[in-house]
Structure formats: structure tokens, C-alpha cells
């Protein structure tokens, strides 16, 4: 069984027992969260497609940790003008352990 969920403006395909890194979610390590909206739920025999989302469906997950990704460098330059700017960025994330897919 798997589902397609939306989190942080992105869509993810999740299955029970897998880990998933998403944009930062509120909550601490060890807390349970419910991920909605769910766009699609598929099994071996059938599937349910939302229009655009499935009512009363959610994915249960546990927060494994909150953290920040590696630093990336943003470099801007305009040739022959002496303009150079360097900036770094680290994105916050939440690592989730998918527990269950619930649809009623």
C-alpha cells in the first residue's frame, strides 16, 4: 500500500515503514504527526484518486529528527562591473518515519 501526499508545496510517494525528509514541520523528536492532504492511495488490487484530495484520509508519521541540510553557496556576479556577492543557505528539514496510511 502506498499514498501520495503533499507537504511543503511538494508531493511525495510514501509507504508504511519508510523514512522521508520534508520541509520543516512543527513538533519535536518522537512526536506523532498526521500528514494531509492525500491525493492518491494505491494497493495491489485497487486505487483511490482524489479530486483533488481524498476526504478523511491521512498518513500517520513519527518525527525522527529536525535538522538543517548542508550549506549551499549562492554567488552573483556582473562582468566588468566589479559586482560580486556571496551568500550561503541551509534549509531546515524534518525527518519522518511513516507509520500508517489511513482512509475511511
Q: What averages of pLDDT result for each successive group of 10 residues across the chain (104 residues)?
A: 96 97 96 96 94 95 98 98 98 98 90
- pTM to 2 decimal places: 0.86
**DSSP per residue, 6-63:** EETTEEEEE-TT-EEEEE--S--TT-EEEE--EEEEE-SS-EEE-SSS-TTEEEEEEE
Residue-level pLDDT at 2? 96
The predicted structure's pLDDT at residue 31:
97
Are 70 and 90 contacting, i.e. CB atoms less than 8 angstroms apart? yes
**Rounded CA gap, 8 and 82, in Å?**
38
Q: Which pLDDT belongs to residue 34?
A: 96
Burial class (CB in 10 A: 0-12, 13-18, 19+), 57: buried
Residue 15 has a pLDDT of 97
Amino acid at each position: 500500500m502506498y499514498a501520495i501526499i503533499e507537504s511543503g508545496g511538494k508531493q511525495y510517494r510514501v509507504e508504511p515503514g519508510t523514512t522521508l525528509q520534508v520541509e520543516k514541520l512543527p513538533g519535536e523528536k518522537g512526536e506523532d504527526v498526521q500528514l494531509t492532504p492525500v491525493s492518491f492511495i494505491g494497493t495491489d488490487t485497487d486505487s483511490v484518486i482524489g479530486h483533488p484530495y481524498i476526504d478523511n484520509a491521512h498518513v500517520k508519521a513519527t518525527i525522527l529528527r529536525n535538522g538543517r541540510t548542508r550549506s549551499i553557496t549562492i554567488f552573483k556576479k556582473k562582468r566588468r562591473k566589479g559586482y560580486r556577492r556571496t551568500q550561503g543557505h541551509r534549509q531546515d528539514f524534518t525527518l519522518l518515519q511513516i507509520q500508517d496510511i489511513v482512509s475511511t
